[in-house]
C-alpha cells in the first residue's frame, strides 16, 4: 500500500459487514434481548390472553388480537429506541472518537444505527406476532400483515427518539432512564389501557403524546376505527421533532471534527 493507491470506501463506510458485527454485539447483550424480544411477548401473554378477551370481538378479530398489536408496538418501540440510543453508550465509552479515526462518515454511522434499530424492531414485532398466533390472537388475514408492518414502520419515530436521547444523554446506561419514560408514554398513548378509559381530559391530552399515533395506526387494520388523520399527523410531527433534535445534537457533536 502506497501513498497514491489508497481508496475510500463506498457509501461513507455504511456496510453490511458492520451491520452484521453490530447485530452480533447487540444479541450478546442479554438486557437488550430480554427487553426488546421477551418482555413484550410476556406482557401480551399476561394481559391479553384471558378467555374473556379471546371470545370478545373487536373489528374483524378478538381483544387478544387487539392487545397483541399494542404489545407489538410497545416491543418495536423499545427495540428502535434502544437501537438509536446505542450512540449514547458509544459516545460515553469514547468509541465514537475511535470511529472518527476510520473512513466511517458520521452520517453513515447514524444510518447504520437506524438500520440496526429497524432490524431489531422487525425481529421484536415478528416474535410478538408468532407468540400471538400460537396463543389465541385472531385478526383478519390482511390485518396480520398490515398491523405488523405499521407497528414496525411507525416505530421509526422511536429510532429518531433514541438517537436524539443518545446524543443528548452521555450515559453508559441510557436505557435505564428511557425504559421508564417509554412505559409512561405507552400508558399515556393508550398501549396498555385504551385512552378513552382514562377520562375525558386525560384522553384529550393523550392524543398529543408520541405513542398514541403509532398505536392507533397499527391497530387500524383491525379496528377500522379512530381518526387516522389525527394519528398520522401525530406520527409525522413527532418523527420530525425527534429527528430535528437528533440532527441538532449530531451537528454539535461533529462540529468538533
Partner 1 sequence: MGGMTLTASPDLTTAPAAVELDGVVKRFGAVTAVDGVSLTIRPGEVVALLGPNGAGKTTTVDMLLGLQRPTDGAVRVYGRAPHEAVALGLVAAVMQTGALLKDYTVAETVRLTAVLFGRTRAEAQAALRRAGLADVANRLVGKCSGGQQQRLRFAMALLPDPELLILDEPTTGMDVAGRHEFWSAIRQDTARGRTVIFATHYLEEADAYADRVVFVRRGRVVADGTAAEVKAMASGRTVRATLPGAAESQLLAVPGVDRAEVRGDTVLLHGGDSDEIARYLLTRTAAHDLEITSRNLEDAFLALTAEDPA
Q: Tell me which residues touch partner 1 (CB under 8 A).
A: 1, 3-10, 13, 15, 17-18, 21, 24-25, 28-29, 90, 93-95, 97-104, 256-257
The Cα–Cα gap between 91 and 95 comes to 6
Q: Which of 192, 218, 142 is nearest to 40 (CA)?
A: 192
Q: Least distance to partner 1 from the beta carbon of 14, Å? A: 10
- Give the dihedral sign, CA 180/182/185/186: negative
Asked if 44 and 124 count as a contact pair (C-beta separation under 8 A), the reply is no
User: What is the gyration radius of the CA atoms in the chain, in angstroms?
Assistant: 20
DSSP state of 186: H
Cβ 175 to partner 1 shortest distance, Å: 14
Closest distance of CB 118 from partner 1, Å: 20
Nearer to partner 1, 166 or 221 (CB): 166
Which one, 27 or 228, has the nearer CB to partner 1? 27
Q: Which is nearer to partner 1, 169 or 183 (CB)?
A: 169
CB closer to partner 1 out of 94 and 200: 94
Please give the Cα distance from 110 to 112 (Å, whole number).
5
Least Å distance between CB 166 and partner 1? Answer: 15
Q: Which is nearer to partner 1, 6 or 200 (CB)?
A: 6
CB 239 within 8 A of CB 157: yes
In the complex, least distance from residue 31 CB atom to partner 1, rounded to whole angstroms: 11
Amino acid at each position: 500500500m502506497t501513498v497514491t493507491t489508497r481508496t475510500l470506501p463506498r457509501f461513507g463506510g455504511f456496510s453490511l459487514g458492520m451491520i452484521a458485527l453490530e447485530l452480533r454485539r447487540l444479541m450478546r447483550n442479554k438486557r437488550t434481548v430480554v427487553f426488546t424480544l421477551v418482555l413484550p411477548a410476556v406482557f401480551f401473554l399476561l394481559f391479553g390472553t384471558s378467555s374473556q378477551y379471546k371470545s370478545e370481538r373487536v373489528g374483524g378479530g378478538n381483544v387478544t388480537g387487539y392487545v397483541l398489536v399494542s404489545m407489538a408496538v410497545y416491543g418495536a418501540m423499545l427495540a428502535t429506541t434502544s437501537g438509536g440510543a446505542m450512540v449514547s453508550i458509544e459516545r460515553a465509552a469514547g468509541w465514537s472518537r475511535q470511529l472518527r479515526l476510520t473512513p466511517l462518515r458520521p452520517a453513515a454511522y447514524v444510518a447504520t444505527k437506524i438500520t440496526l434499530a429497524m432490524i431489531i424492531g422487525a425481529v421484536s414485532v415478528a416474535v410478538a406476532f408468532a407468540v400471538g398466533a400460537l396463543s389465541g390472537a385472531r385478526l383478519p388475514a390482511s390485518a396480520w400483515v398490515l398491523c405488523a408492518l405499521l407497528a414496525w414502520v411507525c416505530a421509526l419515530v422511536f429510532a429518531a427518539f433514541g438517537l436524539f436521547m443518545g446524543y443528548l444523554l452521555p450515559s453508559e446506561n441510557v436505557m435505564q432512564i428511557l425504559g421508564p419514560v417509554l412505559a409512561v408514554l405507552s400508558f399515556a398513548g393508550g398501549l396498555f389501557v385504551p385512552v378513552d378509559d382514562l377520562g375525558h381530559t386525560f384522553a384529550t391530552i393523550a392524543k398529543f403524546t408520541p405513542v398514541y399515533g403509532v398505536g392507533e395506526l397499527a391497530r387500524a387494520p383491525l379496528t377500522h376505527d379512530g381518526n387516522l388523520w389525527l394519528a398520522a399527523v401525530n406520527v409525522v410531527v413527532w418523527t420530525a421533532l425527534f429527528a430535528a433534535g437528533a440532527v441538532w445534537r449530531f451537528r454539535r457533536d461533529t462540529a468538533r471534527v
